[in-house]
Chains A and B, each alone.
Chain A
């Protein structure tokens, strides 16, 4: 089966750092994705990990440990515009399907 868990909501302060965790148990694995979705908008691609380790892209970084079935998204120097839902998704071993978690709603306060 497929199971992807992430916290429902988080709140952080502008300028701070926040880490959003994602754990997964899936029957196959061919990469993990993070998406950002603002209210009323399309999800947009943030990052991709297929090997263990940290991928950094500007203020956003994503980490993967395949042996632990664990990933996190790290957001630095938080801005108000970072308030959004963050979706963790795992691609199956055939490369066709993405299975999504329910998303983490991040609220950034001033």
Chain B
């Protein structure tokens, strides 16, 4: 039990499909993040939300659309993706004034685009 839950764990989609990734945190944090992890590359920050407001969009293509309805939930809506978008998508959270501010990660959603 990591405190940050992501669904689905695995997703295969065609380039014309529309799907969504979901993240939920039960840690009382006020910041949530989407990271992309590709093989042999650094974790790549995509989006940051603080208190439901987007504070960072790291030049992510518009085919990725985030949504943060409240401080506990974060979505990543996917449409017309490309094969190079295949990767592990990690959600993380932190904040609330506790600890060192380290990120708490979910297990990730492994995405394959055909």
Cβ-based interface call for B84 (8 A): no
Question: How many residues on A have C-beta within 8 angstroms of the other chain's C-beta atoms?
Answer: 23
Chain B residues contacting A91 (CB-CB under 8 Å) are 101
Q: Which listed residue, B40, B90, B104, touches A45 by the CB 8 Å rule? A: B104
Among residues 22 to 63 in chain A, which have CB atoms less than 8 Å away from a CB atom of chain B? Answer: 31, 33, 41-45, 48, 50
Q: B4, A42: Cβ atoms under 8 Å?
A: yes
Chain B residues contacting A101 (CB-CB under 8 Å) are 42
Interface size, B (range)? 20 to 34
Cβ-based interface call for B59 (8 A): no
Count A/B pairs, Cβ under 8 Å: 50
Q: B2, A42: Cβ atoms under 8 Å?
A: yes
Q: A96, B55: Cβ atoms under 8 Å?
A: yes
Q: B4, A97: Cβ atoms under 8 Å?
A: no
Q: How far is the CA of A8 from the CA of B40 in the complex (A)?
A: 8
Q: How far is the CA of A102 from the CA of B2 in the complex (A)?
A: 23
Chain A residues contacting B107 (CB-CB under 8 Å) are 41-42
Q: A residues within 8 Å of B by Cβ?
A: 4, 8, 31, 33, 41-45, 48, 50, 87, 89, 91, 95-103
